[in-house]
């Protein structure tokens, strides 16, 4: 994936996160790990690896917000996103 495509994906995922944050009954603490990264889609000067890591961390948070438990489809996606985030972080 090219960096511009990654930035577009990152922006769309942030939009989804903001939608969830606006909903009642959603545990917004799930997004704290992403917020602590301090990497937004607007940070075009940040590396592709940093955005890739941010996308996986945010994907994990989104999947966890949507999951009922770790065995649901979203729960399994969240677990895989965490594995990918850990791998991406090791390459920073």
CATH number at residue 22: 1.20.1270.110
Alpha helices, DSSP H only, in the chain? 3-22, 32-37, 48-66, 73-90
Structurally, the chain folds into a number of domains equal to 1
The reported pLDDT for the residue numbered 46 is: 95
Residue 69 has pLDDT above 70, yes or no: no
Higher pLDDT among residues 26 and 33, named by residue? 33
Averaged pLDDT score across all residues of the chain:
92
Task: For residue 62, give its domain range.
Answer: 3-90
* Plot region of 69 (φ>0 → left; ψ -120 to 50 → alpha; else → beta): beta
pLDDT in tens, 6-22: 999 999 999 999 999 99
Q: How sure is the predictor about 92, in pLDDT bands with cuts at 50, 70 and 90?
A: confident
Contact 56, 88 (CB under 8 A): yes
Contact 72, 51 (CB under 8 A): no
Q: How sure is the predictor about 83, in pLDDT bands with cuts at 50, 70 and 90?
A: very high
């Amino acid at each position: 994936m090219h960096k511009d495509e990654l930035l577009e994906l990152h922006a769309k995922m942030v939009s989804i996160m903001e939608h969830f944050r606006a909903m009642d009954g959603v545990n917004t603490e799930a997004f704290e790990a992403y917020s602590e990264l301090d990497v937004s889609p607007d940070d075009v000067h940040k590396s592709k690896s940093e955005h890739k890591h941010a996308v996986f961390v945010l994907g994990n948070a989104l999947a966890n917000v949507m999951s009922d438990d770790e065995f649901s489809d979203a729960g399994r996606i969240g677990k895989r996103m965490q594995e990918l985030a850990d791998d991406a972080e090791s390459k920073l």
